[in-house]
Chain A
């Protein structure tokens, strides 16, 4: 089945120790997103890639970076995690082409829950 995969599902890191979260997709979608979701809150968009074009949200801290080496993979790097960065990180994808029913719809992965000690 076509899907959005996130690894690992649970990640524990130490305060200030860099961490990388991974997302891959088999949907061949041209847009990939990273969201941060804190407990009992709505997801907050950090940034997205439209093909290779990186689009950062204005209020995303510099501590968060992203890489998209190819269509299928996208990474979220947190350079120096703080206690406030503990959250669920959601990857999503969408296509601007394709079937009308699916176009412009975002499909989410299962998320990576990050704990910062």
Chain B
């Protein structure tokens, strides 16, 4: 079974600085998808970024980018120019490409942005 590990329960960053959240996963599959979701306190789970395993190029969405290292099974999220609104719980998630609908989540990293 696939597992997703987020080794940093909490992280903090100064406003306008850059922070990297770590995620590693374990799978024997070659076809899969990886996601980062953001969940602000008492608010909706929002997709931040997604990465298809077959793509070598790292995904980027504005200030958010990933470092996808397939051989190392690592999928870190970099947030540049951090803003107060980035404060949230961030979940890394894995989805098999083989038809299983299940998202496997990590336990999350709580990000605090200090003004």
Contact B45 A43 (CB under 8 A): yes
Given contacts A42-B108, A43-B105, contact A104 B47 (CB under 8 A): no
Measured CA separation A89–B35 after assembly (Å): 20
| CB proximity to B under 8 Å, residues A32-72 | 33, 40-43, 45, 48, 50, 55, 57
Measured CA separation A85–B50 after assembly (Å): 31
Contact B47 A42 (CB under 8 A): no
Contact A104 B97 (CB under 8 A): yes
Contact A45 B45 (CB under 8 A): no
Question: What total of chain A residues lie within 8 Å of the partner, measured CB to CB?
Answer: 23
Contact B95 A104 (CB under 8 A): yes
Instruction: Determine if B62 is an interface residue (Cβ-Cβ < 8 Å).
Output: no
| CB proximity to A under 8 Å, residues B11-63 | 33, 35, 37, 43-47, 50
Given contacts A104-B33, A105-B47, A110-B43, contact A48 B107 (CB under 8 A): no
Residue of B nearest to A111 (CB): B44
A110 proximity list for chain B (CB < 8 A)? 43-44
Contact A42 B107 (CB under 8 A): yes
Measured CA separation A50–B101 after assembly (Å): 9
Instruction: Determine if B103 is an interface residue (Cβ-Cβ < 8 Å).
Output: yes
B75 proximity list for chain A (CB < 8 A)? none
Given contacts A42-B91, A110-B44, contact A105 B35 (CB under 8 A): yes
Extra contacts besides A43-B103, A55-B101, A90-B45 (18): CB < 8 Å: A31-B101, A33-B101, A42-B107, A42-B108, A43-B45, A43-B105, A45-B102, A45-B103, A50-B101, A105-B35, A105-B47, A105-B50, A106-B35, A106-B47, A108-B45, A108-B46, A110-B44, A111-B45
Question: Can you report 30 A-B residue pairs in the complex whose CB atoms are below 8 A from each other?
Answer: A33-B101, A40-B108, A41-B107, A41-B108, A42-B91, A42-B106, A42-B108, A43-B91, A43-B105, A45-B103, A50-B101, A55-B101, A57-B102, A92-B45, A94-B101, A101-B50, A104-B33, A104-B95, A104-B97, A105-B33, A105-B47, A106-B35, A106-B95, A107-B47, A108-B37, A108-B45, A108-B46, A109-B44, A110-B43, A111-B45
